[in-house]
Structure formats: C-alpha cells, structure tokens
Amino acid sequence: MQPFPTKKYINVFLGLGSNQGDRAEQIRKATALVVQYIGKIAKKSHVYETEPWGNPGQEPFLNQVIMVNTVLDPRALLDAIARIEKEMGRQRKEKWGPRVIDLDILFYGKRIVRDKGLDIPHPELHKRAFVLVPLMEIAPDWEHPVLKKPVDELYMLCDDPSEVVMLES
C-alpha cells in the first residue's frame, strides 16, 4: 500500500471582482475555475456590492474574498489567475477600468514576494474597504506579514470611505 502524497498545501487569499455583465454569475464562474486550476476553496466571504475604486465613472462591483488551499508556487498561481481571467474574457484596457472579472492575490500564506509583476501581499489591500470587509469576514485575525497588524485592525485604520454592502446569500 502506498502512503498518501505529501505535497505541501498553502493557504492563499484571493480577491474577486466583477462589474460587467451578470456580475454574480462572473463571480460564480471564477470560483469554479479557481477550483479547477488553483485548488480547493477552504473559506469564502459573502458577496458584497461596492463602489468602483480609483475610477468612479463606472458600474458598481461585486466583490468576494476566498481562501484557497493550493500547491502552486506564487508565479504558477499568478499564471493560473491570468488563465482564468483570459478564459472569462477579461481585456486589460485601462487601469481600474470596468472588467468582467478581476482576481488579485492578497496573501500567499505569510510569505512576502516582490518580483517582476508579482507583489504579495497585495500592496494596496490595506487601503481598500472592498477588500478588507470580506477579508475580515473570513480571516479577521490574519496578520499582514509586512504591516504586522491583523486584518480587523487594518480595517479600523483604513481611510477608504466607500460603502461595502453585503448581498443576501
């Protein structure tokens, strides 16, 4: 009898957002593709409707944060995210512009990664209520490895006045 495989799983937190088309369906489809290409979803927040950040002249977003168990290294995770976004029809036309789907790596375990096109933890997450509110729902005590503060404290220190409204499940 062979022993169970001993791959090392790591908890990663991903932010999902959509403000084009059937936003709720885009979030559902993205989570299904995350399971297919990245790993098992261990936790997920409710879905929240939020104001657009950085470029206010567009439709509101639906946002969600998920915790995924994965064996992918950070670069392979980024590649899988790019594949999901491409498969769902995302086109990168303008910074903070409308999008069918947006997936961001918020945390990769407790690791700090600063590499070409890859910044983990996400360098802006502590400034964005639409990330902190759903993240706080599933991991309020998770400590930011750079700022050395838990998520719930980061939310209390956040200056973003945007409204983040939980949708009914």
Question: Which amino acid is residue 144, in one-letter code?
Answer: H
Give residue 51's pLDDT band: very low, low, confident or very high (50, 70, 90). Answer: confident
Residue 104: active-site member: yes
Which of 28, 73, 83, 99 does the annotation list as catalytic? Answer: 99
**So what's the pLDDT on residue 24?**
96
152 belongs to the catalytic site: no
- 102 catalytically annotated: yes
Count Cβ atoms below 10 Å from residue 88 Cβ, excluding itself: 18
Amino acid, single-letter form, for residue 36: Q
Please give the class, per CATH, of domain 10-166.
Answer: alpha beta
- To the query of whether residue 90 is one of the catalytic residues in this protein, the response is yes
Check if the beta carbon of residue 154 is closer than 8 Å to that of residue 126. Answer: yes
Bridge partners of 111?
Answer: 108
pTM of the predicted structure, to 2 decimals: 0.93
| Helix, coil or strand: residue 101 | coil
Count other C-beta atoms under 10 Å from residue 79's C-beta: 13
Catalytic residue among 28, 104, 152, 160: 104
Per-domain residue ranges of the chain: 10-166
106 contacts 81 by C-beta, under 8 angstroms: no
Q: Say how far residue 23 (Cα) sits from the centre of its chain.
A: 15
The active-site residue, picked from 22, 73, 83, 90, is 90
The model's pLDDT over 71-127, given as tens digits with 9 standing for 90+, comes to 999 999 999 999 999 999 877 666 666 788 999 999 999 999 999 889 999 999 999
